Structure 1
Amino acid sequence: MSVEIKFIGEQEPFSYTDGEGTVYRYRVEDSGALSIFEKEGKGYVPVDAGPIAVYGPAAWFSVSGDKFSKADRRPGRAFSV
């Protein structure tokens, strides 16, 4: 699934989607920043992978799509959501 972000001051939303089956997840950080993650095919987000993009809290006001969850990490690996 894609992640769609509505940025402050923009009319049209921006969408993370590539049409080739890549799956994206988002996470709202404690600071209010928005982090975007890319899954490996339909598998998992690698444990050592950082976000592919981070937007400050003053840049965006709405996000939709699939939220990053524990299910997005490979079982048996320690991480924080």
Structure 2
Amino acid sequence: MYKIIFPLLAALSLTACSSTERGAGIGAASGAVIGGVATGNVRGAAVGAAIGGVSGALIGNVAGQPGRCYYRDRYGNRYVDRC
């Protein structure tokens, strides 16, 4: 029962958020899961949540701007420009 209720509540709590907040929340949650599974400890989960939250917020910020996309230059630097 709890396996159904908690994801449902998490999904409902994200419906009122902006795309930046939604991206940060989803990124932090998935980063925490991946970091925890990869390292097997809480520190890895915390680092994964931090990295996932920041990258999710960046991606969510661009998602809220129609006509904007992420690009990478030949040095690997990311930048936002028109699609």
- Higher helix residue share: 2
Q: Which has the higher contact order (CA 8 A, sep 6+)?
A: 1
| TM-score, shorter chain, exceeding 0.5 | no
TM-score (norm 1): 0.29
> In terms of Rg, which structure is larger?
2
